[in-house]
A = this chain, B = another copy of it.
């Protein structure tokens, strides 16, 4: 893990960009150390520098004392995009707008994304936990599909918060039943890109006994800010 930039922000949080082999990422750490860790996985075409993601990460570090890490998944953010992925994403947007079924298109690029991203998260986790300023335990927050796989295969992840989840690859719909860690599942009730009933069915399928659903009125990007605090308090209950 090689740090490529470092700045102390006005909320006291230390923000460092890093690379780990081909993986570019950012690590936010609070003044207090060693800190428990939250892995923050953004979705779709988002970049690790997306402003809402950065605001949430800094809030978790400054107000709740967590170290927070984000990486750009293969084909995302600072990483080379494949023409096939770009085409699949454009086709998915077109099919959604036309009201056509999107499962097969979704499967074709999110299935491989999960397969590729999860080993990278585990490699990143190895490197992060080797830093003296990070202690564990570890939480995961963000994209549902990657989170399901990680919750099933990575025993160091002790609690997870998932977002949306209307579309999830077939493999993760099955894996959902095998999750045993505490979960908080956040969805937007009127999210046009995430069919509500499918998200509710996924919540129902999660195997863990300790699961909470939070749904708020509004579209995909309308999640109220108080859910950021709810997410941190959820981690406080399970990681501290």
- Report A's interface with B, CB cutoff 8 A: 189, 200, 203-204, 208-218, 224, 226, 229-230, 233, 237
Shortest Cβ distance from residue A205 to the other chain B in the assembled complex, whole angstroms: 12
Given A209-B217, A212-B214, A213-B214; 18 other pairs, CB 8 A cutoff: A189-B203, A189-B204, A189-B211, A189-B213, A200-B200, A203-B215, A211-B217, A212-B215, A212-B217, A212-B224, A213-B213, A213-B215, A213-B216, A215-B215, A226-B233, A226-B237, A229-B233, A230-B230
Q: Which residues of B contact A226 (CB under 8 A)?
A: 233, 237
Given contacts A226-B233, A226-B237, A237-B226, contact A212 B216 (CB under 8 A): yes
Q: Which residues of B contact A209 (CB under 8 A)?
A: 217-218
Q: How far is the CA of A200 from the CA of B204 in the complex (A)?
A: 13
Residue of B nearest to A185 (CB): B215
Q: Which residues of B contact A214 (CB under 8 A)?
A: 212-214
Shortest Cβ distance from residue A177 to the other chain B in the assembled complex, whole angstroms: 13
Q: Which of B189, B211, B233 contacts A216 (CB 8 A)?
A: B211
Q: Which residues of B contact A218 (CB under 8 A)?
A: 209
Residue of B nearest to A211 (CB): B217
Shortest Cβ distance from residue A16 to the other chain B in the assembled complex, whole angstroms: 33
For this complex, 27 residue pairs linking A to B, each with C-beta atoms less than 8 Å apart, are A189-B203, A189-B204, A189-B211, A189-B213, A200-B200, A203-B215, A208-B217, A209-B217, A209-B218, A210-B217, A211-B216, A211-B217, A212-B214, A212-B215, A212-B216, A212-B217, A212-B224, A213-B213, A213-B214, A213-B215, A213-B216, A214-B214, A215-B215, A226-B233, A226-B237, A229-B233, A230-B230
Residue of B nearest to A222 (CB): B209
Residue of B nearest to A213 (CB): B215
Residue of B nearest to A204 (CB): B189
Q: How far is the CA of A213 from the CA of B230 in the complex (A)?
A: 13
Q: How far is the CA of A204 from the CA of B212 in the complex (A)?
A: 18
Q: Which residues of B contact A211 (CB under 8 A)?
A: 189, 216-217
Q: Which residues of B contact A237 (CB under 8 A)?
A: 226
The 9 nearest A-B residue pairs measured at CB: A213-B215, A211-B217, A212-B216, A214-B214, A209-B217, A226-B237, A212-B214, A210-B217, A213-B213
